[in-house]
Amino acid sequence: MDEERRFPDFEQKWQKAWAASSKPAADQPGKKTDKDFYILSMFPYPSGRLHFGHALPYTLTDSIARYKRMCGCNVLNPMGWDAFGLPAENAAIEAVRRGEKNVHPARMTYDSIEAMRKQMNAFGYSFDWDREVYTCKPDYYKWTQWLFLKMHEKGIAYRKKARVNWCPDCKTTLANEQVETHVKDGEDFQACFRCGTPVEPREIDAWFLAITKYADRLLSGLDNLQKSWPELVTSQQRNWIGRSEGVNIDFTIELRAGASGSGPLKPPGESDPNTQRETLTVFTTRADTTFGVTYVAIAPEHPLVDRILKLVDPRTHKRITEFVKETLNMTEQDRASGDEKEGVATGMFAVNPLNGEKIPVFVANYVLMYGTGAVMAVPAHDERDHEFAREYRLPMKQVIKPAPGSDDEVNIKQEAYTAQGVLVDSGPYTGSTSAEAIARIGADLKSKQSGGPVVNYKLRDWGISRQRYWGCPIPMIHCAKCGVVPVPESDLPVTLPDDVDFLPTGRSPLTDHPAFRSVKCPTCGADARRDTDTMDTFVDSSWYFLRYTDARNDKAIFDPGKAARWTPVDLYVGGREHAILHLIYARFFNMFAHDIGLTAHQEPFARLYAHGLIQGESRRVVTDEMDRYVSEDELQRLVDAGKVEPGQVVRRIEKMSKSKLNGADPTTLVSQYGADALRLTILFAGPAESDSVWDNDGIKGPYNFLRRWHDLALSAAPLVEDLPQMGADCVINAASKKLRYAAHVLVERATGEFEGRFALNTVIAKAMELVNEIRAFIAAENLSGPCKGAADPTLPSRWSLAEAFDILARCMAPFAPHTAEELWHALGGKQSVFETTWPKADPAALVLDEIELPVQVNGKVRGTIRLPATADKATMERLALENENVKKFVEGKAIQKLIVVPGKIINVVAR
């Protein structure tokens, strides 16, 4: 950018003025009214650098917040920091390893926050900084701990030994939701969502939050969010919660000592005295296929495996043990992605409660600890069972035939028939449809007390223990005598000590901090130890939107009255990457807060807006010597030097990142073009919900627009200064009407978009049109010099011009606040443009005297006619048929129909 650029030179001036005059949002406790508007963008992790992932949502929310304030609303638009977490800790570890001194995650975090707040201010964002929260400060995490204690009290937070996902690189556990499927060399594997390292299973004692107790509410709540949340998010959450209706069926399993899984699988004779009978419950969604069961399979983790191992012969024992060990060494998901279905016969048999058949029991790798961890296998009607049965040559029995009228071909030897249909060979149920049979069998089992209809969810409880330092301590104490004891509320917060060696060992760093670790048991006073794990940072961010409503309260988590004033959040803006994790946790926490009387609403976010990603084009050079990302500049040099051929460059659109060298830095762009130009560019690029690719040239249009508006306003200032009041009898000319039309169209468009779908790019386009209209107007009207008083004949034109500038400044104020403020004052505004009210479109201005109407012949436009807006239908028809070109196309044909849509179109149908 050129050195000589002077525009804009006023942004900091206005930022200072606004900071000096800013008023906090009113927050008297009470009922929320139409005028209270809580808008929120997801708070950031303080990485130290504001990037486009922040600039888009904050620009969007700031514009909406400013609009709402101009509409007279009491707006809450807070900002804070999701400040605990691994990146700071990892960066500190790296720094220590490099030999740096005085490194601490806390310092790095606070430094980052200072830097980012400065960057945000440079954008002119109007956040309510007086409510800023830091999740890593004791005044915040005290209440995170308090919520944990409440959950513990209500049985929602509990401790259990569990197989968890362990990231060997981050040296901590991950929740199921934090594990992603990655693909490398054609193999998929489960990886840490943060660093991409393959995860391993680990058995660990950990704290869990019983989110599954809220499964039904989390699911049914989505119904009400259907209209105001993106389908994308609600459908993902539905899928994640994974409700399925089915039937539990109790099989009786006969446990015989000395059973063998080797050799032919024959049910044992009648009454073996050593047989113990137990119930093995399976879950199925296809109870209609129960007569087709040919074996039962249980998960390797199933509790029954241990019982079986105690009874079987040594050979079978060995096979099962090895198989189970091998399977459990994989993560659950890795096991799922393996393509071979494998299993081991246990030698035990189960009795089908519906037909009394005895069928073999397998341990199988494809059975998960979902539902009951055991399935009835129906190879004829289930693909997985079919595959397994083929592998192990197990029998298949068809019990479903296609429904009448279906042209499905069935060959169960070839493949399973999984569609619903009509039952065959199914005893009393033969002839029923699948749906009828499922209902009847469910009811029959229930009355026989051997099962019945149940609902299962895929959702699992949320493991929150992390073996890392930079997080919220878990307020629990382990006492040898009393067991696990909560820290008394009066002792909160359990403060995270500063002087901790946080270099990773695989153990929680706090374990090695004796002063933190050792504590007296609050119950018996004996020596005890604190829980040394810290919480998943998603816990911190699950309730921050509630804290904002009363952020400085040191007596309580927040005043429910103040929360009632603001919540639910009217508009929550954030990235799609949080569609399940954060947004389901936050809903869960809000429901819990509701249950303990803290909030009035079950759902925290009335409307959710999922913004897109601003991506960058990366350039990767692949030659014999190199294979890496390069910057555009470096690429140019390499090409100029003849070291790289164009064909050796792979260009891709990817998420901006440092390592890919495809990022643009918004803060640099602000210093080059000004905050307003960047704000407009971001919003003008397209609808905010769709992804876009950053293009450095994209800023030119908005930048030129601002400059043109600015220059135009300054040069036109003398034309519109000190105008006398216009009388009601003022008559304006056609050009003025056209100008007014453009101005009021802008008002209408801006208002509509702010209230509806937020396609703000179209609002900016209308503002650009208005600037173009103003330029044309001034040129055409030949206005010059100051107004010559009430008798000045150019007065109506000047008045129209003044109005156009007025509307332009007010409508653009939410988008380009600095420029709007500057020009508002330049054209005589006395107070801040943000103290004026949002303009209202004048319906009279939206009606043109004369309109142009396209005339179609047989659906194709053949001409346009000009006519007064008030013309009646007959006139329209007459003018349409008089049009020369229309005549030409109608000639020689009979007019069959004349469609007249007033204000829109005329269509002559001629054959």
Partner RNA sequence: GCGGAGGUGGCGGAAUGGCAGACGCGCUGGACUUAGGAUCCAGUGGGUAAAACCGUGCGGGUUCAAGUCCCGCCCUCCGCACCA
Site for RNA in 670-689 (CB under 7 A): 684-687
The number of angstroms, rounded, from the C-alpha of 544 to the middle of its chain's C-alpha atoms is: 16
Helix 817-826 crosses helix 675-684 at what angle (to 10 degrees)? 120
**What is the length of the chain?**
911
- Distance (Å, rounded) from C-alpha 343 to C-alpha 324? 9
- Using the minimum distance from each CB to RNA, give the nearer residue, 554 or 640: 640
Number of residues that bind RNA (CB under 7 A): 83
Choose which of 108, 367, 675, 804 interacts with RNA (CB under 7 A).
Answer: 367
- Using the minimum distance from each CB to RNA, give the nearer residue, 3 or 625: 3
- Distance (Å, rounded) from C-alpha 85 to C-alpha 136? 9
3 state DSSP class of 465: strand
Shortest distance, CB of residue 472 to RNA, whole angstroms? Answer: 25
233-262 footprint of RNA as x/- string (CB under 7 A): --xx--xx-x-x-x----------------
Shortest distance, CB of residue 239 to RNA, whole angstroms? Answer: 5
Shortest distance, CB of residue 376 to RNA, whole angstroms? Answer: 7
759-798 footprint of RNA as x/- string (CB under 7 A): x-xx-xx--xx--x--x-----------------------
- Using the minimum distance from each CB to RNA, give the nearer residue, 531 or 773: 773
295-334 footprint of RNA as x/- string (CB under 7 A): ----x--------------------------------xx-
- Distance (Å, rounded) from C-alpha 145 to C-alpha 165? 24
- Using the minimum distance from each CB to RNA, give the nearer residue, 487 or 906: 906
Site for RNA in 847-866 (CB under 7 A): 852, 854, 856, 858-861, 864
Shortest distance, CB of residue 234 to RNA, whole angstroms? Answer: 9
Residues 6+ apart with CB under 8 A from 278: 252, 253, 255, 304, 307
* Nearest one of 365, 339, 337, 367 to 181, comparing CA atoms: 337
Stretch of 26-34, 105-113, 542-550, 690-698 lying at the interface with RNA (CB under 7 A): 690-698
3 state DSSP class of 79: coil
Segments of 270-326 assigned E as strands: 276-284, 295-298
Site for RNA in 276-295 (CB under 7 A): 283-286
- Using the minimum distance from each CB to RNA, give the nearer residue, 723 or 879: 879
- Using the minimum distance from each CB to RNA, give the nearer residue, 64 or 787: 64
Shortest distance, CB of residue 336 to RNA, whole angstroms? Answer: 3
- Using the minimum distance from each CB to RNA, give the nearer residue, 593 or 845: 845
Tell me if 336 contacts RNA by CB under 7 A.
yes
Tell me if 616 contacts RNA by CB under 7 A.
no
- Using the minimum distance from each CB to RNA, give the nearer residue, 358 or 708: 708
- Distance (Å, rounded) from C-alpha 513 to C-alpha 829? 62
Tell me if 705 contacts RNA by CB under 7 A.
yes
Cβ atoms < 10 Å from Cβ of 389: 22
Tell me if 337 contacts RNA by CB under 7 A.
yes
Site for RNA in 796-855 (CB under 7 A): 852, 854
Measured at the alpha carbon of residue 214, what is the angle toward residues 211 and 218, in degrees to the nearest 5?
110
Shortest distance, CB of residue 889 to RNA, whole angstroms? Answer: 8
* Nearest one of 820, 823, 821, 825 to 712, comparing CA atoms: 823
Stretch of 63-71, 97-105, 693-701, 811-819 lying at the interface with RNA (CB under 7 A): 693-701
Choose which of 21, 33, 181, 329 interacts with RNA (CB under 7 A).
Answer: 181
- Using the minimum distance from each CB to RNA, give the nearer residue, 76 or 363: 363
- Using the minimum distance from each CB to RNA, give the nearer residue, 167 or 685: 685
Shortest distance, CB of residue 322 to RNA, whole angstroms? Answer: 17
- Distance (Å, rounded) from C-alpha 601 to C-alpha 606? 10
Tell me if 633 contacts RNA by CB under 7 A.
no
Tell me if 96 contacts RNA by CB under 7 A.
no
- Using the minimum distance from each CB to RNA, give the nearer residue, 88 or 308: 308
- Distance (Å, rounded) from C-alpha 907 to C-alpha 886? 10
Shortest distance, CB of residue 616 to RNA, whole angstroms? Answer: 13
Residues 6+ apart with CB under 8 A from 676: 8, 11, 124, 706, 815, 816, 817, 818, 819
213-232 footprint of RNA as x/- string (CB under 7 A): ------------------xx
Tell me if 178 contacts RNA by CB under 7 A.
no
Backbone angles phi, psi at 317, to 5 degrees: -55, -45
- Using the minimum distance from each CB to RNA, give the nearer residue, 153 or 408: 408
Measured at the alpha carbon of residue 11, what is the angle toward residues 8 and 16, in degrees to the nearest 5?
160
The DSSP symbol for 646 reads: G
Shortest distance, CB of residue 497 to RNA, whole angstroms? Answer: 36
Tell me if 6 contacts RNA by CB under 7 A.
no
279 and 242 Cβ atoms separated by less than 8 Å: no
One DSSP character per residue, 432-446 reads -BHHHHHHHHHHHHH
Tell me if 617 contacts RNA by CB under 7 A.
no
Backbone angles phi, psi at 106, to 5 degrees: -65, -45
- Distance (Å, rounded) from C-alpha 484 to C-alpha 762? 59
- Using the minimum distance from each CB to RNA, give the nearer residue, 178 or 599: 178
Q: Tokens 């007296």 belong to which residue?
A: 520
- Distance (Å, rounded) from C-alpha 656 to C-alpha 661? 8
Shortest distance, CB of residue 385 to RNA, whole angstroms? Answer: 8
Tell me if 692 contacts RNA by CB under 7 A.
yes
Shortest distance, CB of residue 651 to RNA, whole angstroms? Answer: 13
- Distance (Å, rounded) from C-alpha 606 to C-alpha 227? 10
Site for RNA in 147-166 (CB under 7 A): none
- Using the minimum distance from each CB to RNA, give the nearer residue, 522 or 686: 686
- Distance (Å, rounded) from C-alpha 332 to C-alpha 201? 8
Site for RNA in 419-458 (CB under 7 A): 456, 458
753 and 816 Cβ atoms separated by less than 8 Å: no
Which residues is 454 bridged to in the sheet? 246
Site for RNA in 547-586 (CB under 7 A): 576, 579-580
Cβ atoms < 10 Å from Cβ of 387: 17
Shortest distance, CB of residue 773 to RNA, whole angstroms? Answer: 10
Shortest distance, CB of residue 482 to RNA, whole angstroms? Answer: 37
Shortest distance, CB of residue 798 to RNA, whole angstroms? Answer: 20
Choose which of 22, 262, 329, 704 interacts with RNA (CB under 7 A).
Answer: 704
- Using the minimum distance from each CB to RNA, give the nearer residue, 33 or 244: 244
- Using the minimum distance from each CB to RNA, give the nearer residue, 36 or 773: 773
- Using the minimum distance from each CB to RNA, give the nearer residue, 635 or 685: 685
Tell me if 698 contacts RNA by CB under 7 A.
yes
666 and 672 Cβ atoms separated by less than 8 Å: no
- Distance (Å, rounded) from C-alpha 626 to C-alpha 843? 65
Tell me if 899 contacts RNA by CB under 7 A.
yes
> From residue 236, how far is each of 179, 286, 576 by CA, in Å?
16, 24, 10
- Cβ-in-10-Å burial (0-12, 13-18, 19+) of 588 comes to buried
Site for RNA in 378-397 (CB under 7 A): 382, 384, 387
One DSSP character per residue, 230-281 reads -HHHHHHHHHHH--EEEEEEEEEEEE-TT---SS------S--TT-EEEEEE
Site for RNA in 61-90 (CB under 7 A): none
- Distance (Å, rounded) from C-alpha 194 to C-alpha 157? 25
Shortest distance, CB of residue 408 to RNA, whole angstroms? Answer: 15
Cβ atoms < 10 Å from Cβ of 645: 11
